[in-house]
């Protein structure tokens, strides 16, 4: 897996939103943006759209404009119980979690 793999990015987003919920703080958009994930905005938008459409996160809207351009609107994002189950039970998410744990051990500032 690579740090820009879809499952790795999904895991990072879900983990960040869940951590914010547990700490009782509002998520900072910049902390889970395309820039923070190191991926193109169009790819990030597609990933977020998947998370929303599967019911894994709430508080995010995807607007599609003429010509196919999509815009993400963020208003109090949260991870759902389904999102937590996906992160914990899906085998690809398990691989993403392991990749991130291994990467963090090798490079602590990730």
pLDDT, tens only, 10-61: 999 999 999 999 999 999 999 999 999 999 999 999 999 999 999 999 999 9
pLDDT band with cut points at 50, 70 and 90 for residue 79? very high
8 A C-beta contact, residue 93 and residue 79:
no
In the prediction, which pLDDT does 37 show? Answer: 93
What crossing angle do the helices spanning 81-89 and 6-23 adopt, rounded to 10°?
A: 130
| Structural domains of the chain in order of their starting residue, each with its CATH number | 6-101 (1.10.10.10)
Residue 3 has pLDDT above 60, yes or no: yes
Q: With bands split at pLDDT 50, 70 and 90, how would you rate the model's confidence at 109?
A: very low
């Amino acid at each position: 897996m690579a740090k820009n793999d879809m499952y790795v990015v999904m895991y990072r987003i879900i983990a960040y939103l869940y951590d914010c919920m547990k700490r009782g703080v509002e998520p900072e958009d910049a902390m889970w943006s395309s820039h923070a994930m190191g991926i193109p905005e169009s790819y990030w938008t597609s990933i977020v759209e998947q998370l929303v459409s599967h019911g894994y996160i709430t508080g995010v809207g995807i607007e599609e404009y003429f010509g196919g351009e999509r815009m993400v609107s963020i208003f109090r994002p949260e991870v759902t119980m389904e999102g937590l189950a996906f992160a914990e039970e899906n085998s690809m998410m398990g691989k993403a979690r392991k990749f991130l744990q291994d990467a963090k051990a090798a490079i602590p500032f990730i």
